[in-house]
Structure 1
Amino acid sequence: MDTLDPNAYNLIIIVIAYLLGSIPFAVVWSKVFGLQDPRRYGSGNPGATNVLRSGNKTAAVLTLLGDAFKGWFAVWLAGVVTNYSASAVALACVAAFLGHLYPVFLKFKGGKGVATALGILLAISPWLGLFTLITWLAVAYTSRMSSLAAIMAAVLVPTYYLLGADSFWTLNPYLLLAIIFMSVMLLYRHAANISRLLKGTEPKFGKRKKK
């Protein structure tokens, strides 16, 4: 593959990362456990939080792990095959993330990307992923709202990346742009949640809602 044109090389990385990101683990594990399609109840979101509303915690955990792993694996694979080219890794970050948000296997109607983003951040730096996870857990524990936790983590992760540069990782503009892009998209995908939070109507953990 060393003889490939760099643009063709990057295109291959983008396609593979996107397809990995498109794997709908919420739907896959729901079928395995004989559950209703997660797009047909609750928020209609094919993600771990909505699968949890089915009452099957095992399926929800496996969905969470699967969504995080596919993000991590896509970025890790891009790093390995390109000798950790920052631009290639950044492309893989964005492609895998968009794959989850707009999966080809679900007619481009995917989840919100929280777990996949976490997996991607862990691949960029375990420390960055850890700081983000701690933020999510702290906000989720105090507020009992997974949406608020995701929103706060999305807002803070670019700052974490900047502040941790030269101490925990090397600052790279390509990766910074990829992180900012994912943060903006996470906020965009949580627009309805933000609206409900402002109105004081956002549900907390343990409460089911019907479409």
Structure 2
Amino acid sequence: MALFLIFIGYLLGSFPSGYLAGKWLAGIDLRLIGSGSTGATNVLRHVGKWPALIVFALDVSKGAAAVLLAKSLLLDESWQVLVGISSLAGHIWPIWLRGKGGKAVATGLGVFLGISWKVGLSSLGIFLLILSFWRMVSLSSICAAISLPLLMLLSFQSKLSIPYLLVSLVAMSLVLWRHRSNFRRITSGTEPKIGTKAS
């Protein structure tokens, strides 16, 4: 059952919500324009605000559903983490899109909302705070990802969960790796901000 849920988590994560929004609403393949990501930010820049919000909500739901499904079937923390990571893998490397998906930010948020709503909401708060000052989704995502291990330690300080701490480190690493080109643009001052078109 647990192994089957890992497969289900991957399938949930690989649902191509951003790609479908681009195809259905704008007749475009998001993998070929802008950042090449199928996530909500690329949808925002090339399809529109409301489609981006819907894609964001769907992507968050994918990660949360995977973890909550594992919890509902009384799987232990290690299996919950593996199911959550499989949903992140599905989002980044979706089988339907030949392995070219999003950057794991929204789906990662969903995973942490499923694990601990306090950690999930705190990371979202950090994301929104950085976004309000610098108006760069990528920088906000990077800062929120870096905060995850610390937030996990603070949330579970009375009873540290090693699997939950490990998944925060894995999620942080995945987000940082997926944003490596953004980081280079941030340091060079060429990263686009909200309200500007990506080149």
Alpha-carbon distance, 1:209 to partner? 2.4
Q: 1:33 to 1:55 in 2, by over 3 A?
A: closer
Contact 1:74 1:93 in 2 (8 A): yes
After superposing the two structures, state which structure 1 stretch, 49-58 or 138-147, moved more: 49-58
| Residue in structure 1 matched with residue 64 of structure 2 by the alignment | 72
What are the ranges of 5 or more consecutive residues in structure 1 without an aligned counterpart? Answer: 1-8
| Residue in structure 2 matched with residue 129 of structure 1 by the alignment | 120
| Residue in structure 1 matched with residue 19 of structure 2 by the alignment | 27
- From 35, 41, 44, give the equivalent of 1:43: 35
Alpha-carbon distance, 1:166 to partner? 4.4
| Residue in structure 2 matched with residue 4 of structure 1 by the alignment | none
TM-score by length of 1: 0.90
Which residues in structure 2 correspond to 1:132-151 (within 5 Å)? 132-151=123-142
1:183 maps to 2:172: yes
- From 75, 82, 91, give the equivalent of 1:91: 82
Q: CA RMSD in A?
A: 1.4
Contact 2:35 2:198 in 1 (8 A): yes
Would you tell me which structure has more helix in proportion to its own residues? 2
Which has more radius of gyration? 1
1:100 is paired with a residue of what secondary structure? helix
Contact 1:35 1:54 in 2 (8 A): no
Alpha-carbon distance, 1:203 to partner? 1.2
CA shift digits 1:21-42 (9 cap, x unpaired): 0001001223332442222321
CA shift digits 1:121-159 (9 cap, x unpaired): 100111111100000000011001000000001111110
TM-score by length of 2: 0.95
CA distance in 2 between counterparts of 1:47 and 1:208 reads: 15
| Residue in structure 2 matched with residue 158 of structure 1 by the alignment | 149
Contact 2:26 2:47 in 1 (8 A): no
| Residue in structure 2 matched with residue 206 of structure 1 by the alignment | 195
1:110 is paired with a residue of what secondary structure? coil
1:33 is paired with a residue of what secondary structure? helix
Contact 1:79 1:88 in 2 (8 A): no
After superposing the two structures, state which structure 1 stretch, 21-30 or 33-42, moved more: 33-42
CA distance in 2 between counterparts of 1:42 and 1:99 reads: 21
After superposing the two structures, state which structure 1 stretch, 29-38 or 11-20, moved more: 29-38
Number of residue-to-residue matches in the alignment: 199
CA distance in 2 between counterparts of 1:93 and 1:55 reads: 28
Contact 1:75 1:124 in 2 (8 A): yes
CA distance in 1 between counterparts of 2:180 and 2:42 reads: 17
1:140 aligned partner, one-letter code: L
- Deviating runs (4+, > 3 A) in structure 1? none
1:165 aligned partner, one-letter code: F
Contact 2:25 2:47 in 1 (8 A): no
| Residue in structure 2 matched with residue 17 of structure 1 by the alignment | 9
